[in-house]
């Protein structure tokens, strides 16, 4: 299988790219970004860089330029299935997905949906995705399809796959061997879903066994953890302790942990968060999905999202992921990471200007750290991958979910929605 890239453009063979008049995060005034052979070689104040013959030169005209979005929590195998969820609950989503797996899933089906989504996501400025892939399927069709997607998109999107036992690690007698087989096939990260095991004790055991597998293979871990309104769902404590005992801090991520929104504040702030901060474990919240799926059965309805303000204040690396796009859990979604960050800002009371800057980092720099992406950012030495937004500042880009005017990947202009770029010489 292959995919059709956007039509070849005038920039394809250029060696040096100079982007002038850029507004970039963390620097005042405008700068020029110089890219040589796919790497940023220089970031200099505006006017300090002279273009030379053969350069591709783009005038950003004072627009905001950012490294690409990183979506560290997504499900490419279920994307665009558009399966209705009448109750709007996590449970019905899991059941409907199980039915879809049994009745409709093929390698071609997963590949085509994921491929369509990647085309849209790339055009929306996303260049890295960590996708969970359900391994509770004897045929591992999703794994086969997404390994192909990962290979076919490697020049545009860095895709990391997580072996995810959606129905529970102890749901079926073969789930363990299916998960191991998926890792043997090349899936990158060990997943889990302790709150979906039949009992809390099985959830605990699943964490221990999955961490053992990851430790033996020297892999990263990212578990769906405590995606529940039950304040007694405390698997993240076990995951944190296993991380500590195995000295695997910074290789382990707890996704969702929405039960923390319901927890006793003494336990949360005096025990759990300090323990997590000491260990170095990461957190991924999924604001759109968390507030949609959580809080159905409580009155007043809670803000069913991890307390990102407190987690960030404790020094924990927090990312915000999109999780779902037109799938059995969520009928909306448009590959817009600004939408994700803005929902996180609303729900997490993160609306101060410095806090909005932090929210921007939860969809860029922080998930890049979680995914361990090499050369991320806009400093010299980084990969020359970035997005020019049609907005003068980060705040305006976020506020308006500004159009992604120009998309650069490894020094090559992949998409240019402006028509006034020039080539010197």
CB of 151 to Fe ion, least distance (A): 23
Nearer to Fe ion, 31 or 285 (CB): 285
CB of 271 to Fe ion, least distance (A): 26
The secondary element (H helix, E strand) that includes residue 388 is strand 386-389
DSSP letter at 283? E
Largest CA distance in the chain: 69
Q: Where are any strands of DSSP class E within 153-311? A: 158-164, 189-190, 220-225, 252-256, 282-285
Q: Pattern 323-342, binding to Fe ion, x per CB under 5 A? A: x-------------------
Binding segment toward Fe ion, per CB under 5 A, in 51-59, 190-198, 321-329, 406-414: 321-329
Nearer to Fe ion, 49 or 114 (CB): 114
CB of 193 to Fe ion, least distance (A): 9
CB closest to Fe ion, residue no: 323
Dihedral sign for Cα 339, 355, 160, 316, please. Answer: negative
Q: How many CB atoms lie within 10 A of CB 37?
A: 11
DSSP letter at 8? P
Binding segment toward Fe ion, per CB under 5 A, in 201-209, 238-246, 319-327, 348-356: 319-327
Which two three-digit tokens encode residue 420?
């006034």
CB of 371 to Fe ion, least distance (A): 15
CB of 322 to Fe ion, least distance (A): 9
Binding segment toward Fe ion, per CB under 5 A, in 120-128, 134-142, 188-196, 320-328: 320-328
CB of 171 to Fe ion, least distance (A): 17
Q: How many residues does the chain have?
A: 425
Nearest CA among 423, 333, 389 for reference residue 80? 333
Nearer to Fe ion, 38 or 331 (CB): 331
Nearer to Fe ion, 242 or 323 (CB): 323
Nearer to Fe ion, 19 or 128 (CB): 128
Number of amino acids touching Fe ion (CB under 5 A): 1
The full 3-state SS of 84-111, as one line of letters, equals CCCCCCHHHHHHHHHHHHHHCCCHHHHH
Q: Are strands 16-23 and 31-36 parallel, antiparallel or unpaired?
A: antiparallel
Residues labelled as active-site residues: 227
Nearer to Fe ion, 215 or 323 (CB): 323
CB of 324 to Fe ion, least distance (A): 7
Binding segment toward Fe ion, per CB under 5 A, in 177-185, 317-325, 336-344, 366-374: 317-325
Nearer to Fe ion, 51 or 290 (CB): 290
In contact, 344 and 72? CB cutoff 8 Å:
no
Residue 257 CB partners (closer than 8 Å, separation 6+): 225, 226, 227, 236, 283, 285, 306
In contact, 404 and 387? CB cutoff 8 Å:
yes
Q: In what order do the strands lie in the sheet with 126-134?
A: 69-74, 126-134, 158-164, 189-190, 220-225, 252-256, 282-285, 318-320
Contact set with Fe ion (CB under 5 A): 323
């Amino acid at each position: 299988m292959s995919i059709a890239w956007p039509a070849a453009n005038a920039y394809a063979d250029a060696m040096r790219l100079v982007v002038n008049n850029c507004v970039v995060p963390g620097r005042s005034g405008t700068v020029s970004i110089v890219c040589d052979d796919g790497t940023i070689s220089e970031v200099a104040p505006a006017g300090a860089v002279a273009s030379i013959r053969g350069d591709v030169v783009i005038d950003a005209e004072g627009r905001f330029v950012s490294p690409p979005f990183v979506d560290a929590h997504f499900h490419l195998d279920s994307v665009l299935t558009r399966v209705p969820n009448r109750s709007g609950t996590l449970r019905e989503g899991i059941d409907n997905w199980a039915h879809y797996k049994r009745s409709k899933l093929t390698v071609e089906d997963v590949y085509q949906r994921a491929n369509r989504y990647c085309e849209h996501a790339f055009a929306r400025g996303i260049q890295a995705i960590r996708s969970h892939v359900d391994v509770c399927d004897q045929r591992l069709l999703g794994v086969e399809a997404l390994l192909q997607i990962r290979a076919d998109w490697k020049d545009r999107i860095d895709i990391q796959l997580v072996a995810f036992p959606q129905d529970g690690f102890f749901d079926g007698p073969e789930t363990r061997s299916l998960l191991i087989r998926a890792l043997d096939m090349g899936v990158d990260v060990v997943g889990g879903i302790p709150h979906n095991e039949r009992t809390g004790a099985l959830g605990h055991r699943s964490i221990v066994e999955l961490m053992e597998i990851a430790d033996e293979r020297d892999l990263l871990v990212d578990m769906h953890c405590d995606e529940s309104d039950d304040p007694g769902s405390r698997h993240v404590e076990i995951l944190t302790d296993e991380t500590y005992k195995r000295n695997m801090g910074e290789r382990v991520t707890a996704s969702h942990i929405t039960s923390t929104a319901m927890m006793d504040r003494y336990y949360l702030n005096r025990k759990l968060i300090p323990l997590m901060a000491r260990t170095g474990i990461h957190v991924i919240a999924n604001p759109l999905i968390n507030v949609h799926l959580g809080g159905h059965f409580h009155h007043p309805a809670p803000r069913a999202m991890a307390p990102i303000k407190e987690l960030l204040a404790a020094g924990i690396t927090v990312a915000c992921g999109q999780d779902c796009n037109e799938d059995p859990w969520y009928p909306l979604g448009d590959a817009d990471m600004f939408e994700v960050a803005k929902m996180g800002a609303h729900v997490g009371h993160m609306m101060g200007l410095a806090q909005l800057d932090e929210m921007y980092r939860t969809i860029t720099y922080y998930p890049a750290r979680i995914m361990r992406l090499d050369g991320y950012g806009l400093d010299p030495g980084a990969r020359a991958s970035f997005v020019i937004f049609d907005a003068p500042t980060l705040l305006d880009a976020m506020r308006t979910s500004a159009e992604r005017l120009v998309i650069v990947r490894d020094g090559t202009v992949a998409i240019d929605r402006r028509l006034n770029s020039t080539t010197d010489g």
